[in-house]
Amino acid sequence: MTDADATSPSPDPLATASRDIAEVPAVEIISTAALHLMSAAAVNLGLAADLPDHKDLDEARSLIDSLAGLLDAAAPALGHHHAAPLRDGLRSLQLAFREASSIPDEPGQGPGEKYTGAVFPSATHR
């Protein structure tokens, strides 16, 4: 090790993290946040293979509401290619919530439905 190495400042971890995140496209950050919300909602709906008996519908409602708001706000930036599968996942979670709830919400009052409109099982629309 030279004297120059000993006196040079070590890289600032926050500056390194900022540079790293600056290189990540917004669509990737938004999609990652949406996937985290989806995963957490699924766990709280009892859909996790390793926690099938865990259900917390209050938590699931908050997560689904947040996911719906995020997708509603971010859809123009995401474009159809990225937004469509996330919307499908959201709809699946909304339907799973309706199925898991012993006291059904009125149409349009379920989690996230203020952003998506009322969600009904496909069989009722045939």
Residues whose CB is less than 8 angstroms from the CB of residue 63 and which lie 6 or more positions away in sequence, other chains included? 37, 40, 41, 44
Q: Say whether pLDDT at 124 is over 50.
A: no
d(CA 43, CA 49): 9
Q: Say whether pLDDT at 116 is over 70.
A: yes
pLDDT in tens, 3-56: 555 566 677 877 788 888 899 999 999 999 999 999 999 999 999 999 889 999
- Which of 117, 99, 97 is closest to 107 using CA atoms? 117
Q: Full-prediction pTM beyond 0.85?
A: no
